[in-house]
Chains A and B, each alone.
Chain A
């Protein structure tokens, strides 16, 4: 089997998570080559052919041009599978490749079982194992689902590539993440509010518990999007990745984007009315309760200690 891995380059740097792509190919026992629109001075640690297009010429985000560069490599390499990260770069480019190749695309692969990719359905409440019926397949891998034990090593054999294609969009720059104010990555105790808090007034219960525990409060994405908690307190893929000694998830069902940002916490307590919520998979303790009744009682008892 031959696998073509699509690495990423953004804001002037190689994205280091490319090692997850290598881990996936290794797990499959597959021969691997790599594709990157990047810089010759910032190469991945990888033993194998690296098809490298110069980012100075082709841009960091220029989908129709990157598509053409990649299709040219696919025509030459004839890989059985083309593997992306399930990321803002991967889910943007992968469907373009799948359409061009008329190949099955399988998105957000979390595991491979009996040789077949498995993807989450309904916020990870369910799983679907998929059998592609095309010769080539396009896969995107969920962040963190595959990983190497050690840092990757090796030196790629660079094959410089070029393409003659016109872009349809123009990336003019980046807006940095707002990091003023609280930095949750430095907090040892975090109590986070999820959609289950129900209304903005109830965020105060989460804040009170955080205070009683001597920690900070955070939130999952829906609560931040609703404007109930400021963005610098968001935990998850597009917020902070935290590893506190204690993480208390209040009314958070456990979408994968949230889990990715907190599952490495030392001790996790989840408060949820739904015993089957995915947050239960990472929680050391799942308190099955309505947070509106439970949090005030817990806070009062902690304050009395």
Chain B
């Protein structure tokens, strides 16, 4: 089987964000970077599929500046066979259709049976790229999967729905599957696998934004207004506990 996994490098969401000089995105300086959490589930599911069918080749693809190869190495250490880095220092500005076009133009003549990706990124969070890749390639897509089983070309997945129920969906290859948190338990790369990953092929390709132009512009980028009203308590633990208990007595009936 020929499998593609599309991942993104994102900042740690606990970071203190600043707005960049152009005023159209967050400042990329001084941030800790990691693999988009949803994509970790995509990588893990691909590796498990290879463990099941044995004969499979896993290509991990990432678009971005050179620093994204650090994140790609984690995917290789988790078990992907090769990496394709599409070098693009402007990727942060690109909208989902542009990213999807770059992936589709890479994938179109490679006959991938399954393309795994996260259901969304933690920073942009559009939840569009995976479905758009499938539409551009003219293949099926199932989004938000929390369960996956493969048997001889037939794929059974569970889609997560609002309220906690799940839809049972059957499809066949080729297909794009977008992975939701909780699909599996992503493995931690072992030291021997981290060492092995250093020797795996990691090809860098020049970005080809293709003929798809931009369809939207960022008119403003800002921090949401604090609604305020809330009381902020700071201090040492004992003092905080006393203040909070006082507030709970005063404002709620729960300690009565």
Contact = CB atoms under 8 A, between A and B. Distances in A.
Interface of A: 10-11, 60-61, 63-64, 86-88, 91-92, 94-96, 98-100, 102-108, 116, 119-134, 143, 168-178, 188-189, 213-215, 221-222, 224-225, 227, 231, 234, 237-239, 245-246, 253, 266-267, 269, 274-276, 278, 280-289, 293-294, 297-298, 301-302, 305
A58 B182 CA distance: 30
B92 to A, nearest CB: 11
Nearest to B139: A168
B42 to A, nearest CB: 15
Contacts of B158: 175
Contacts of A104: 95, 215-216
Nearest to B24: A128
Interface in B99-135: 100, 119-120, 122-128, 131-132, 135
B9 interface: no
* Interface hub of B162, B223, B234, B251 (most chain A Cβ within 10 A): B162
B138 to A, nearest CB: 10
B254 to A, nearest CB: 5
Contacts of A286: 230-233
Nearest to A231: B164
A169 B169 contact: yes
Contact of B159 (A88, A102, A224, A234): A88
What are the 6 closest A-B residue pairs judged by CB atoms, nearest first?
Answer: A177-B164, A168-B140, A104-B215, A95-B131, A129-B220, A225-B182
Q: For chain A, what secondary structure do more than half of its interface residues adopt (helix, strand, loop), or is it mixed? A: mixed
A169 B218 CA distance: 35
A281 B232 contact: no
Given A176-B165, A237-B162, A289-B237, A170 B242 contact: no
Contact of B162 (A88, A98, A281): A88
B244 A281 contact: no
Given A126-B17, A127-B223, A274-B14, 9 more contacts: A121-B124, A122-B13, A130-B218, A174-B161, A174-B168, A175-B167, A280-B232, A284-B230, A288-B232
B162 A87 contact: yes
A280 B217 contact: no
A227 B185 CA distance: 9
Contact of B167 (A96, A174, A267): A174
30 contacts: A88-B144, A91-B119, A91-B128, A96-B135, A98-B128, A98-B132, A99-B132, A105-B128, A106-B216, A107-B127, A122-B122, A122-B125, A125-B13, A126-B17, A130-B217, A130-B219, A132-B215, A168-B171, A169-B140, A169-B142, A170-B169, A172-B168, A246-B252, A253-B13, A253-B14, A286-B232, A287-B233, A297-B237, A297-B238, A305-B245
B205 interface: no
A61 B161 CA distance: 11
Contact of A283 (B141, B175, B230, B253): B230
Question: How big is the B interface, by class?
Answer: 35 or more
Contacts of B169: 61, 169-172
Interface string B64-107: 00000000000000000000000000000001110010000000
Contacts of A116: 219
A216 B121 CA distance: 32
B17 A224 contact: no
Nearest to B223: A126
B198 to A, nearest CB: 29
B181 A225 contact: yes
B136 A125 contact: no
B160 interface: yes
A128 B218 contact: yes
B221 interface: yes
Nearest to B143: A92
Nearest to B155: A169
Given A99-B136, A126-B221, A298-B241, A134 B215 contact: yes
Given A131-B216, A189-B254, A286-B232, A64 B164 contact: no
A286 B255 CA distance: 19
A63 B218 CA distance: 30
Contacts of B244: 269, 285, 287, 298
A25 to B, nearest CB: 21
A169 B170 contact: yes
Contacts of B223: 125-127
* Interface hub of A169, A173, A298 (most chain B Cβ within 10 A): A169
Nearest to A130: B216
Contacts of A171: 167-169
B227 interface: yes
B251 A284 contact: yes
Contacts of B13: 122-123, 125, 253
B221 to A, nearest CB: 5
B226 interface: yes
Given A98-B132, A120-B125, A280-B226, A294 B237 contact: yes
Contacts of A289: 234, 237, 240
A215 B252 CA distance: 14
B221 A64 contact: no
